[in-house]
Homo-oligomer: A and B are copies of this chain.
Amino acid sequence: MKSQSAEESRIAQLCVEHGLKMTGQRRVIARVLSDADDHPDVEELYRRASALDSRISVATVYRTVRLLEEKGILERRDFGGGRARYEATEGGRHHYHLIDVDNGKVIEFEDPEHEELMRRVAERLGFDFVSMRLELFGKKRPQPVKETKAPARARKKKEAGS
């Protein structure tokens, strides 16, 4: 969560800068996206947006995320599970995702030197770096008995942590 004030959300501002028409529903979706600090899929976005304003249809959410992705305001992610997930494009620093293969939980991490490395790779291949996507899959290493915490070994099928 970020601003939450009555003023225009960060994403709404970007929409304006890109010359998009700011309708009521688009403003709501923009706020939901601006406030999200996870990686919601369309259904989840629809749920959150509906809570703020019930006059919104899923089709609009789909249309909006597609539009914002084309404009480079949003980035689509695929963490497995069939549905596309979205998160706001970050200006400078990129962050990456480590997915726990046992429960699908997503952990974010940064690695400053990484983007620079990728820029060089792209350049070496004759390309200008546009964007990147990095997903690391790992298995939680059994901690060397740190404290008294329940193991909690689950194995849900669908919908894992965002």
Contact = CB atoms under 8 A, between A and B. Distances in A.
B143 A137 contact: no
Contacts of A123: 141
A83 to B, nearest CB: 11
Contact of A130 (B114, B130, B134, B137): B137
Copies in the complex: 2
Contacts of A118: 136
A140 B129 CA distance: 9
Nearest to A126: B141
B128 A138 contact: yes
Nearest to A127: B138
B111 A127 contact: no
Contacts of A107: 125
A98 interface: yes
25 contacts: A98-B121, A98-B127, A109-B121, A109-B125, A111-B117, A111-B121, A117-B117, A118-B136, A121-B136, A122-B136, A122-B138, A123-B141, A126-B140, A127-B138, A127-B140, A127-B141, A128-B138, A128-B139, A129-B136, A129-B138, A130-B139, A132-B136, A133-B137, A134-B134, A134-B135
Given A114-B117, A128-B140, 4 more contacts: A98-B125, A130-B139, A132-B134, A132-B137
